[in-house]
Amino acid sequence: MSSKVKVYELCALREPYMVMGISGWPNAGEVSVMCSRYLMEKLSARKFAELEGKWFYDMSLSRPFVSIEDGLLKGYAAPYNEFYYAVDGKHGRDLVFSIGNEPNLDWEGYVDLVLGLARDAGVVKIFIFGGVLDQLSHNAAPVISGVVNRPELLPDLRRHGIVPSNYSGPSSIHGLILEEARKRNIPAMSLWGHVPSYFPGPNPKVSYALLTKFVEITGIEIDLEDMRRRGEAFEESVREFLERSESLGDFLKSLGTQPPHRRDTPEYVT
């Protein structure tokens, strides 16, 4: 194993799926990380490895996060990428989680290490969560779109009401993960929750919709009630905010005349 990764423990897993939550560019509404952390919490995931951040992050671009109280530094958190596993004794499908910041440096090396850990853990399929800004209303049913790395996975998108993406242009690291996984014969699927562009903050409503599609596709039984309630509370807070914001009125009226999802896919959907 490379010196760029630290492995602490890993038990024998049963044909696990890997779930990837990536902050940064592909994390609008914090959907990618929010969904991953929700699953990790519900399944009591255990940390088993981490990447050495200095090889993959430019601190002038991915700034460390500090916490200061009354002039005293209380916390310092650098960009990271950690790996967890969860053993599902009830339903026979274990999960491996990769969660952290999208790297600034050496994407190829980063993806090689991630997929190497996936291979060592016996991962049979990869799901990458993403969030993307889009011109749609917060009142509309959330749109979930998807990209797959093998044609036989396309029916899964359509069967579960996931919009197949159409796009050519700059990519997040999702694109490289999908391509390298394909070369290694690992089926992979990138699922994107579409977040209203006028309210880009943390969006549990869209996260709930994405998690619902994930459990439908995988058959993994996970209680999503907490996220559903957070989504309802979020929608109510947005409604109250918009009642006090006259400047958004005309924009929201224009969204009401648009179809349920837009065909001009946002810029960084892969």
Distance from the first to the final alpha carbon of the chain:
29
Residue type, 33: V
Between β-strands 81-86 and 95-101, what pairing exists: parallel, antiparallel or unpaired?
antiparallel
Q: What is the DSSP letter of 65?
A: E
Please compute the mean of the pLDDT values over residues 223-234 and round it to a whole number.
93
**Is 0.85 topped by the overall pTM?**
yes
- Separation in Å, CA 85 to CA 17, 52, 196: 10, 19, 32
Identify the burial level of 239 via C-beta atoms within 10 angstroms of its C-beta, where 0-12 means exposed, 13-18 middle and 19 or more buried.
Answer: exposed
| pLDDT tens by residue, 130-171 | 999 988 877 788 999 999 999 999 999 999 999 999 988 888
Q: Which CATH number fits domain 14-255: 3.90.1420.10, 1.20.120.1200, 3.40.50.1370, 3.40.50.10900?
A: 3.40.50.10900
| pLDDT tens by residue, 91-141 | 668 999 999 999 999 999 999 999 999 999 999 999 999 999 988 877 788
| pLDDT tens by residue, 51-98 | 988 889 988 888 888 999 999 999 998 888 999 999 876 666 899 999
Least confident of 32-46, 122-136, 188-202: 188-202
Among 62, 132, 48, 131, residue whose Cα is nearest residue 101:
62
pLDDT of residue 97: 97
Which pLDDT band, with edges at 50, 70 and 90, does 251 fall under? low
Between β-strands 81-86 and 144-148, what pairing exists: parallel, antiparallel or unpaired?
unpaired
Contact 111, 5 (CB under 8 A): no
pLDDT of residue 119: 94
Q: Per-domain residue ranges for the chain?
A: 14-255
